[in-house]
Amino acid sequence: MPIPRPVQPETPGRDAFEIHRAEVAEDLSLAYLREGVGGYPLLLVHGYPETKRIWWRNVRPLAEAGYEVIVPDLRGYGDSDLSEKDEYDLALYSHDLYALVHDRLGHERCGLIGGDVGGAVICDMANRFPGFVERMIFFNTVAPTVPERADWYAAHGLDLNPLPHGPTGDYRIRQGRDWKLLLEELDTPARRRRYVRDFYEHRLLASQYSFEEEDYDFMVEPFEDARRLFAGWAPYQLEYGRPQSEPALLGQPVETPTLILYGPDDQVVPKDFPKRCEIAFPNRVGPLVIPECGHFLQWERADVLNEVAKFYFADLRGR
């Protein structure tokens, strides 16, 4: 009999939030949620294989606490537009989100929360747009590296630029290098759904019993479309020569004040993640380890993230 999981906030229904749209680049619009308008803006950035739905347990509690909660689908994901030119990379994601929050919604500053690919994006945003990002929460992804501190990595027994393959991380190679063969294998909506479901179930990213049957359906549905599944593989293809608009700004420290969280049940992100964050984020709080939690921290331990976020950004909200 499974051990009971920590009680989580109620999951709103699929149609609980209005979906908005905004053009952020030529012929490309993002879909996004926007709740609690008028509060301090918090931008919540999903990763792969996620969409804005991974934040469903966080939107309402944060909006009710006085924050304007902005939750987009990245280009090519969920309800956002696909790129007609097949242009996807971390810098483009950053420019899209800056255009949404700054140019379209009119916020001069904001707070960011992100993990997985979304964690890399918020780090790039913090370095790319000085003064725009006031504070961040960062969890379970690849920490930025600081090449000029190679001596620090060596002293701590760490490779300078590792990739988080982990015991079940072969998908990075298949999606990055062997994507044509993989796409041929996933030739029906049912096979694509099964493939994505494995990330939430068998690939050991999440803490056991974090997702119910209806949760799997909710998370994997947007990836039935082969074009959207393929779009989500773009960051992995960058390792194998995919053209990019410009390099992501991840080879330097992130000076923005950042709270580091870590779900230790994640079997893809290496166990040295907390240590790497110590040099990547000079102005950090943590790393703090969240028990009974894996890769999808915002869903698995929404009870923790929601309360921590309320306090971490509270003085900005009050201002």
Alpha carbon distance 101, 47 (integer Å): 18
Q: What is the dihedral of CA 131, 304, 207, 212, to 10 degrees?
A: -110
| pLDDT at 230 > cutoff 70 | yes
**How much is the pLDDT for 170?**
85
Angle at 197 between CA 195 and CA 200, to 5 degrees: 130
For 49, the 3-state DSSP assignment is: coil
pLDDT digits (tens, 9 = 90+) for 5-16: 889 999 999 999
Alpha carbon distance 33, 94 (integer Å): 17
- Residue from 281, 232, 290, 189 nearest 77 by CA: 232
Alpha carbon distance 22, 297 (integer Å): 28
Q: What is the mean pLDDT of residues 37-60?
A: 98
Q: What is the mean pLDDT of residues 50-73?
A: 98
Residue 119: pLDDT band with limits 50, 70, 90: very high
* Contact status, residue 263 vs residue 293, Cβ threshold 8 Å: yes
- Residue from 164, 141, 157 nearest 281 by CA: 141
pLDDT digits (tens, 9 = 90+) for 284-294: 999 999 999 99
pLDDT digits (tens, 9 = 90+) for 136-187: 999 999 999 999 999 999 999 888 876 655 566 789 999 999 999 999 999 9
**How much is the pLDDT for 204?**
81
Alpha carbon distance 312, 257 (integer Å): 10
pTM: 0.96
**How much is the pLDDT for 319?**
72
| pLDDT at 274 > cutoff 90 | yes
Residue 282: pLDDT band with limits 50, 70, 90: very high
Alpha carbon distance 61, 52 (integer Å): 16
CATH topology of domain 20-163+246-318: Rossmann fold (3.40.50)
- Provide CB contacts within 8 A for 241, sequence distance 6+: none
Q: Look up residue 211 and give its two tokens.
A: 């997702």
| pLDDT at 299 > cutoff 80 | yes
**How much is the pLDDT for 2?**
63
Q: Is the peptide bond before 287 cis (omega within 30 degrees of 0)?
A: yes
% of the chain exceeding 70 in pLDDT: 97
**Mean pLDDT, all residues of the chain:** 94
Alpha carbon distance 183, 161 (integer Å): 28
**How much is the pLDDT for 168?**
65
